[in-house]
Amino acid sequence: MADPEEAIEFDPSDFPACPICGTDRWLLKHSGPVRDGAYGRSVSSSIRSCAGCGVERLAEGACLESVAYREDTYRRHVGQDHDIGRHYASHDELALFTLQTIWPTSLRGKRVADVGCGGGSLLDHMRGLPEQIVAVDPAEGFAQSLISRGYRWFPTVGKAAEEFAGQIDVAFAIQVIKHVDDPREFLDSIRSLLKPDGQCVVSTPNRADILMELLPDAFPAFFYRTQHRWAFDADSLSACARAAGFHVDSVRHVHRYGMANSLLWLRDKKPSGRSSLEAIDGSADALWRMWLESTGRADNLYLILRAPS
Ligand SMILES: [Zn+2]
């Protein structure tokens, strides 16, 4: 772990004033390899933490450019593409975690928007329940498929707002805020879609992940990556949501992997996905997950936000 006092000097074009709180003081958190796309490639860069609101960011010079999300560049960068079948294979499981997390909120009869919906995996899992589904994603490669499945597709929140401002009951932004140029403006734009008291469900990787604590030399180089400009914990994401005019209804920590994933990281110092260990069964997984989620050390964060009345 880098000492925050060690390197005060930085290039302001890499760390401009924080768009969430306006502070221009950034403390060094990580210096060295940052994952570049799929596991195995890296670049050398730095991560700093905002002295005001606590958000962390990657040096701008190492960030994947915004235009990448409109074209094929982003999905190629992370080893994916706009093949809809492959999109389902990697995103259907995430949809299940999201729907479990929002319960007991029911989507029946509601107007729902998914901002950064990709190929629409989450939308497919709720199909039939909402009265109206709005799909927002800049990736034109998925647009035809989304439209043919009956969703109203828009490339940006701004375009969706021309028709749906103030009309959405529940908006989702699942694993999107880590990529955007300005997280506060992003949430603010989603708020413009919502009815009074409408809900916004935001998820992002949790930088308080247990492996950041247990493997401070090996895990940050995997956790931080060039396609993620921002890294949040529960407090900094809540601060961002409040700055964007939301009330934070609840913070939920969700761990997506079993105990074997953590043990194999400790043993091998590299990712193993869903590989199993013979001695680790479902009850060990459940216990591990429950402990991580109850202590805020899970791999993902979900915030349930509410727009003003
Ligand atoms: Zn800040």
Asked whether residue 220 is assigned to any structural domain, the reply reads: yes
Residue 304 has a pLDDT of 98
Mean pLDDT of the region 203-224: 97
Distance from the alpha carbon of residue 266 to the mean position of ligand 1, in angstroms? 32
Judge whether residue 111 has pLDDT over 90: yes
Instruction: Please compute the mean of the pLDDT values over residues 27-36 and round it to a whole number.
Output: 95
Is residue 129 a part of any domain in this protein?
yes
Ligand 1 centroid–CA 294 distance in Å is 27
pLDDT of residue 305: 98
- Over residues 1-24, the pLDDT tens digits come to 455 544 567 899 999 999 999 999
* Structure tokens given for 11: 């290039």
**pTM of full prediction above 0.85:** yes
Alpha carbon of 18 to ligand 1 centroid (Å): 5
- Residue 80 inside a domain? The answer is yes
Residue 269 lies in a domain: yes
146 part of a folded domain: yes
Q: Tens of pLDDT along 231-290?
A: 999 999 999 999 999 999 999 999 999 999 999 999 999 999 889 999 999 999 999 999
The range of the structural domain enclosing residue 222 comes to 67-306
What is the CA(269)–ligand 1 centre distance, in A? 32
When computed from its CA atoms, the radius of gyration of the chain, rounded to whole angstroms, is: 19
Tell me the CATH number at 92.
Answer: 3.40.50.150
Find the 50 Cα to ligand 1 centroid distance in Å: 5
- Edge-to-edge strand list for the sheet holding 132-136: 152-154, 132-136, 111-115, 168-174, 194-205, 300-306, 247-254
- Residue 158 tokens, joined: 């701004």
Q: How far is the CA of 176 from the centre of ligand 1 (A)?
A: 18
Percent of the chain with pLDDT over 90: 83
Query: What separation in angstroms does the CA of 236 have from each of 45, 146, 208, 242?
Result: 22, 33, 11, 10
Number of domains in the chain: 1
Which of 32-41, 173-182, 202-211, 297-306 is predicted least confidently? 32-41
The chain-wide mean pLDDT, for the chain, equals 92
Instruction: Give me the torsion for CA of 233, 124, 185, 301, rounded to 10°.
Output: -10
Q: Tell me how far the alpha carbon of residue 86 lies from the centroid of ligand 1, in angstroms.
A: 36
Amino acid letter for position 53: C
pLDDT one-digit tens code per residue, 55-104 = 999 999 999 876 676 666 666 666 666 777 777 877 888 899 999 999 89
Ligand 1: distance of its center to the CA of 53 in Å? Answer: 4
CA–centroid distance, 202 to ligand 1, in Å, is 18
Distance, in Å, from the CA atom of 304 to the CA atom of 202, rounded to the nearest integer, reads 7
CA torsion 53-197-295-257 (nearest 10°) is -100
Å from CA of 59 to ligand 1 middle: 14
Position 197 pLDDT exceeds 80: yes
Ligand 1 midpoint to CA 239 (Å): 9
26 alpha carbon – ligand 1 mean position (Å)? 9
In a domain, 300, yes or no: yes
Position 128 confidence tier, pLDDT thresholds 50, 70, 90: very high
214 falls within a domain: yes
Q: Is residue 228 part of a domain?
A: yes
* C-beta separation of 147 from 122 below 8 A: no
Q: How far is the CA of 60 from the centre of ligand 1 (A)?
A: 15
